[in-house]
Amino acid sequence: MKLTHAATARPVLQVANVHKHYGSKIAVADISFEVAAGEIVGLLGPNGAGKTTTINMVLGVLEASRGQILIDGHDVMRQRRRALSATNFAAVYAPLPGNLTVEQNLRIFGLIYGVRPLQMRIDGLLQQFDLLAYRDTRCGVLSSGEQTRVCLAKALLNQPRLLLLDEPTASLDPATARDIRLQIQRIAREQGGGILWTSHNMTEVEDVCDRVLILSQGRVLLQGDPRTLASEHGAASLEDLFVRLARDPGATAPKREAGA
């Protein structure tokens, strides 16, 4: 599968036959998928399924053993600067430097991404994520929920075409998590970028994602609409389907009732 660089309606992210191995250990096995403009795609799977490896290859942190990844039409390995300038990332396990204030962190990352006008962008994000009162507060003393909101503000500084969110609401209370989900959905709709979202919260995935990919042992087992995928495969809920596949990656066929 060779990816096209055509500008007409091209996906924001194209992953084609991407494989990653470490010696004899296969982490990701020839996966292919796309994220369209304005689409939120959930990347699901148990621990060790290959999600983090996939994200790190999309971010250029790891180089694929073979295959191709394009972000907004740019090859991550061959056109690294262009590809990654159109990308940003937020994860609960990647906090911002705790000795810097909220505004200092946003300013440094804004300068890295060449954001202009930077101060206006920072002020807008501080207001959007209810962080104005913490502008001069060191990130290290913020609550986990406040730190998550700062990380999301950082991830939107450059108005990325591709936004990768790894468990973005994991440390938020239900009300704040709902507000963040609504904001991210609005951003995808209004700015036309694509979002790759990982989560273990299946209710959240059903609420937010337009499509989901379920990975196991480095392979894409299933993909589809999170609101109908479970019933298509004989499961009572997306969580039940997820658990079934985590225990037995071969269990993808619809189950039949006894005596049917």
Residue 11 · residue 37 · CB < 8 Å: yes
Q: Which residue has the higher pLDDT, 255 or 230?
A: 230
pTM equals 0.90
d(CA 113, CA 187): 19
Residues 109-135, mean pLDDT to the nearest whole number: 96
Length of the chain: 260
Describe the chain by its helix, strand, coil percentages, rounded to 5: 35, 25, 40
pLDDT band at 220 (very low <50, low <70, confident <90, very high): very high
Residues 190-219, mean pLDDT to the nearest whole number: 93
Question: Which domains, from first to last, does the chain contain?
Answer: 11-46+60-195+214-247 (3.40.50.300)
At residue 144, does pLDDT exceed 90?
Answer: no
CA distances from 232 to 44, 89, 212, 241 (A): 17, 32, 14, 10
pLDDT band at 138 (very low <50, low <70, confident <90, very high): very high
At residue 161, does pLDDT exceed 60?
Answer: yes
pLDDT of residue 257: 44
Mean pLDDT of the chain: 91
- Point out the least confidently predicted range of 6-10, 19-23, 79-83: 6-10
pLDDT band at 253 (very low <50, low <70, confident <90, very high): low
- The percent of residues in the chain predicted with pLDDT above 70, rounded, is 93
Residues 142-155, mean pLDDT to the nearest whole number: 92
Residue 226 · residue 205 · CB < 8 Å: yes
At residue 203, does pLDDT exceed 70?
Answer: yes
Whether the upstream peptide bond of residue 97 has omega within 30° of 0, thus cis, is no
Strands across the sheet containing 25-35: 25-35, 13-22, 66-71, 74-75
